[in-house]
Structures are given as C-alpha cells and as structure tokens.
Amino acid sequence: MTVGLSPARRWGAAGAAGAAALLLAGLTAPAAAGAVLPEAAAVTVSLSATHLSGAVGAYGDPAVTADVEQAGVPAGFLRLRVVSSSNPAVAGVGDVRQERTREGDRRLTVQARGQGYTDLTLEVTGRGGRTATATLSYAASARVGSGLGTRYLTGSSDASAAVDVGGGYVIVADDESNVLRLYDRSRSGAPVKTWDLGAPLGLKKEADIEAAARVGDTVYWTGSLGNNKDGKYKAERNTVFTTRITGSGAGTEVVFGSAYKGLREDLVAWDAAHGNRYGFAAGTAAGEVPKQIDGFNVEGLEFAPGSTTTAYLGFRAPLAPVVPGGKALIVPVTNIDRVLESGAEPVFGEAIEMNLGGLAVRDIRKNAADQYLILAGSFAADDNSDPYALYQWDGVPGHAPVKRADLPTTDPGGWEAVVDVPDLLAPGARVQLITDSGSADLYGDGVEAKDLTHPEWKKARAAWFTLG
C-alpha cells in the first residue's frame, strides 16, 4: 500500500483492477465514513484423497488435488502452503510440490526423504486473512533398485494377473478380491476404472484370481484352484470365468461372460485316470497347503500357438517329479472355449514338463507372433527371497525354454504378472512386470501391505526390464 496518497488517488486512479489486487491479497480498501465492510467469506480446502503413498527416489509418484475455494475470489488467487510435517525425516514442508490446475486448484506431489509415515498440514489463505487447513496422511516406501522404470499401482497390493488393453493401459486382477482394475501403465496412482465381479460370479469371497489369457475380445481368468493357505478347501477358488472387453485404453469397458466351477475336480480325475502321476488328489486333500513342492496351485494361463481353444494351465505346484530341481508343469485344456460357453467336460492334452532351473510357472504370456515369456519362480510362499527368472519359449511341447533374464529379489514383493510380450527377437526388447506385494512390509512398521487400513497406501510395483 502507498502511504500519503489521498483516497481518490489511491482508489480512483488505480481503478477496479488495483482494488481487486489488494482485496485478493487479504487487504481491504478504506471505507467511506461510517460504512461497514462486509466480512470476507469463509475459505475451504478439500483433498481428492486424504491419504497418499509414495516411494523414496521414485519417479512419477501419485498426486492429490487440493480444491480451494472462497466465494467471490478466483481460486487461483488463494494461497496454499504446507505449514508442518509430523515426521520431517519422511517428508518435510519443503518436500511438497504444487502445480496449479486450469481451475485454479492445486495438484500436490511429495518427494520422500525416508521410509515411514508423516502427516502434512496444509493451510490455505484467502481474502480478509481467512484461512482453512487440511491434513494429508503420507506413507513412503523404501527406495527400490529399478527406480527409474518403476511405477506403483495403488488401491490394491496383491496384483496377480494382468491383461494389456492397448493405448498404454492394463487391466490388473488381485488374489484378495474379485475386482478388476484399469491402470495407466506409465503413471503411478489409482485405477482409472474398476469392475467388481463378485455378484456376477455369485461369490462373496475372493476367487483367488491368479492368471489370465486374452483371445480377441474375450479374456479367460482362473482362480488358483487350490486350497487356501491353511489347507482348507474354498469353493470360490475353483472358478474359471470369462469377461468381454469393449473399447481400449482409458475407454476400456468390461462385461462379465460366463463361469465354470469344476476344473479342479476334473484335473484330479484326469490325473487319477493316468496313475496319479502328478499327485493332484494328494495335493488337494484336506490340510494340504497349495504352495509346497507337492501342492496344487495354478498360476499361469495362456493359449497354445495359433489356437483359440487350447489353453495351457501353468502350475506353481507341484513340480514334476516332486523333488528339488524338478520340472515345471503345464497341462493343456484343448476345449476351454466350450467348457466356458456350455459347461462341456474339459478335455486334457498331454502334460508338458519343462526345465526352468527348478522353478515353477508364476505366469505365462505370448504375443501375436506366438513368442512366449514364462515368469518362473519358486513353488514356496516366499515373496522375494527365492530366485525369479524370465524364460523364452515357442509354445511347442518338447521344445526347451531359454532363460532371458534373472530378476532382482532384494526389493519387497514377488514377481507375479507379465503385462505383455515384446518382439523377443528385437535388440533391447523390454517387458513390464508387476509384483504381488501383499505380504510385503512396505513402510517399515511390520504391517503387511494387504492389511493396511487405507487403500491408497496399498500398492503393487510395476517395473520395466530389458531382456538379455
């Protein structure tokens, strides 16, 4: 404010624009003698989410939007700042970045300093010195080795299967719910869309979705078909179902198709008819946990070369034979289309045994050229202490797979899903993988990710790898 000027010069010459600038700065023009100025309207601030997750050294971390308002004042003129942090070692006042949106609101991101939790207090100041506050509860996971190529898919930590839908988007299932989630593959953050298939499936508990395969607009999904971790039979897990996809990218939509709930029993009967070669009856018996060398657990699903009817079921357990260093097992279902369309009795082809260095199938995916990538990992329940590797295969029984890469195991979460398969003959081919981080202690407090209170803090990790 200029001192010593008359009211006429201070307000008349400056005009309405000058007065508005002072008003938006929280000042009030001098009133005529005896006039009473109206009180400034209240200021409000609301967050698109009150909880946010990030990671130390991450790129493209999730953001929240702060909607700031004061009647009669453009949002862009309101001042928003971070005034305190309950744990500056995780993120301090100066670690919050804000960008203005076209509407004048603020897009907030946090650059984490360390693993853990902190409450960040935000304050917005408007006309007349009116203020309002909000609290953003922030959680930061530790730095990971593949930070540059890592993105975090929030809302769920137990990613178990992925299907590319084009345009840079992917549908991800998890084994702790019957919800499918659509994510932008290039960004960290919440799903763009979700579809809860519990009601169409007639299930109140999770189907333990572990694998998926796409043929045209139809996606086949399968549960693990095994007992739960306590060795108890849960009918929901014995579910194979289809969905139909329309659109692509961010415009993708999912419609439930059909379901079949007897494949586990069919496999046991098929194995029994062939001399119990793989011990399916024993592996599914009461009290038998699925993630053991002689257990029963399906985690891979893909179609045979050039086929839209023969599906390969990839087993996490058992190994064949049931000894350390045994081979991975794939069982073809030659009429999977009719099984799902009409409930036809499954017809099984000759089992495929392959040497994956003592590892089992954790996912299997192919491209349009029938080039396969097998994500190989341990049959055991360990999330990240046992080896993982990627193997290339041509899908032909009797042909040996070739190792293309060993995967890192020092970071939380177990490698669980291949998003899609690049041209495996191209130099520098890169593939995106997703972890199941449900059992991981992401924030250093001893709480498994699947048990975290807030979905915004639950997350799976997607990372890119170059194949050797």
**Assigned domain for 269 exists:** yes
265 and 336 inside one domain: yes
Identify whether the C-beta of residue 160 lies closer than 8 Å to the C-beta of residue 417: yes
131 and 185 inside one domain: no
Tally of domains in the chain: 2
122 and 176 inside one domain: no
Per-residue pLDDT of 51-103, as tens digits, reads: 999 999 998 889 999 999 999 999 999 999 999 999 999 999 999 999 998 88
157 and 64 inside one domain: no
pLDDT-derived band at 10 (thresholds 50, 70, 90) equals very low
221 and 117 inside one domain: no
Q: pTM score, two decimals?
A: 0.90
Per-position DSSP letters for 325-377, written without gaps between them: TPEEEEEEETTHHHHHHH-PPP-B---EEE-STT-EEEEEEE-TT--EEEEEE
List the 297-303 sheet strands across, edge first: 297-303, 311-320, 327-333, 352-354
**Assigned domain for 35 exists:** no
**Lowest-pLDDT range, 4-8, 133-137, 218-222?**
4-8
Residue 260 CA to residue 240 CA, distance in Å, equals 5
**Assigned domain for 28 exists:** no
**Assigned domain for 195 exists:** yes
**Lowest-pLDDT range, 3-17, 234-248, 301-315?**
3-17
pLDDT at 462: 97
pLDDT at 383: 59
**Assigned domain for 207 exists:** yes
Per-residue pLDDT of 311-359, as tens digits, reads: 999 999 999 999 999 999 999 999 999 999 999 999 999 999 999 999 9
155 and 137 inside one domain: no
**Assigned domain for 6 exists:** no
305 and 188 inside one domain: yes
**Assigned domain for 1 exists:** no
Last residue of a domain, one of 80, 111, 141: 141
Here the CATH number for the domain that contains residue 114 is 2.60.40.10
183 and 269 inside one domain: yes
Last residue of a domain, one of 141, 161, 178: 141
Torsion sign over Cα 204, 218, 249, 361: positive
**Assigned domain for 118 exists:** yes
74 and 179 inside one domain: no
Here the CATH number for the domain that contains residue 211 is 2.120.10
209 and 136 inside one domain: no
In a 3-state reduction of DSSP, which class is residue 250?
A: helix
Last residue of a domain, one of 141, 158, 175: 141
* DSSP H helices in 188-248: 198-201
421 and 439 inside one domain: yes
Domain that holds residue 127: 43-141
Per-residue pLDDT of 424-443, as tens digits, reads: 999 999 999 999 999 999 99
393 and 304 inside one domain: yes
Q: Average pLDDT in the 385-410 region?
A: 95
